């Protein structure tokens, strides 16, 4: 019999015989995700569901725990973009099974981020990596794609109740669109509490300070950590 304290981490509050076995199962999911073994992750997630572990417990204790390790390793240059992408695919394989259950149970979203590459810039590798890291922290990402004008960030933030607007740029010629995003955010009363985060190869902390953005981060892993902090 499983007893889970409402609105608390199922991993911490499981009280049943065999709890250590299910804890081990969560650890296996985490390890397999880190190895990028998508089919095995999906199989273990299905087993965890069948054995009575909640969707939230599997998400937090297995999938997000594994992506958290990958994020730390990426930040420390112990793994690289291909490994992150493979791990993200493994996470998504497990999420396919969890999403319907999370929706049924009103699964809590840690925060919402509107993300895109700014107008005039069609580079998306960095943006896509940031998206993976954000989702790996349990954040909902509204991906606007590339060549996104300032007004589109603002309307998407309003429509989705965003906590954060995240702008990426790879070209120095497109950085000023970030300034326009900040200015529009500041002139939109409904978005008074929304943070603007910026990043990309030519972007610096000095530029962030100059335009009045809330955060500059040098890499995707740090971006995800700061974003989660803003949403906490």
Domains of the chain (ranges; CATH) run: 10-104 (1.10.1240.10), 112-231 (3.40.50.280)
pLDDT at 41 over 80: yes
Q: If we measure between CA atoms, which residue out of 177, 58, 205 comes closest to residue 121?
A: 177
Express each pLDDT in 120-131 by its tens digit: 999 998 899 999
Least-confidence region, from 55-59, 106-110, 136-140, 220-224: 106-110
For residue 16, give the nearest of 2, 31, 26 by alpha carbon. 2
Given strand 112-117, what is the order of strands in its sheet? 140-143, 112-117, 164-168, 195-199, 215-216
Q: What is the pTM of this model?
A: 0.77
User: To the nearest whole number, what is the mean pLDDT of the chain?
Assistant: 89
Compute the distance between CA of residue 226 and CA of residue 217 in angstroms, rounded to an integer: 8
Q: Among the residues of 105-219, which ranges form H helices? A: 125-136, 150-160, 176-186, 205-211
Mean pLDDT on 56-83: 91
């Amino acid at each position: 019999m499983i007893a889970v304290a409402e609105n608390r981490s199922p991993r911490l509050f499981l009280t049943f015989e065999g709890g250590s076995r299910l804890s081990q199962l969560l650890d296996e999911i985490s390890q397999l995700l880190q190895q990028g073994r998508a089919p095995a992750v999906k199989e273990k997630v299905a087993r965890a569901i069948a054995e009575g572990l909640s969707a939230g417990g599997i998400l937090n204790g297995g999938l997000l725990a594994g992506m958290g390790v990958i994020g730390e390793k990426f930040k420390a240059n112990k793994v690289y973009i291909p490994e992150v992408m493979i791990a993200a695919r493994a996470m998504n394989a497990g999420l396919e099974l969890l999403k319907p259950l999370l929706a049924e149970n009103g699964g809590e979203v840690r925060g919402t981020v509107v993300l895109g590459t700014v107008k005039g810039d069609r580079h998306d590798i960095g943006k896509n990596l940031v998206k993976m890291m954000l989702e790996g922290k349990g954040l909902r990402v509204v991906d606007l794609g590339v060549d996104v004008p300032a007004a589109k960030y603002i309307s998407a933030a309003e429509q989705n109740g965003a906590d954060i607007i995240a702008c990426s740029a790879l070209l120095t010629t497109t950085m000023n669109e970030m300034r326009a995003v900040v200015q529009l955010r500041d002139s939109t009363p409904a978005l008074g509490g929304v943070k603007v985060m910026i990043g990309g190869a030519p972007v610096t902390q000095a530029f962030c300070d100059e335009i009045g953005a809330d955060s500059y981060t040098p890499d995707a892993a740090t971006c995800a950590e700061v974003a989660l902090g803003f949403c906490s």
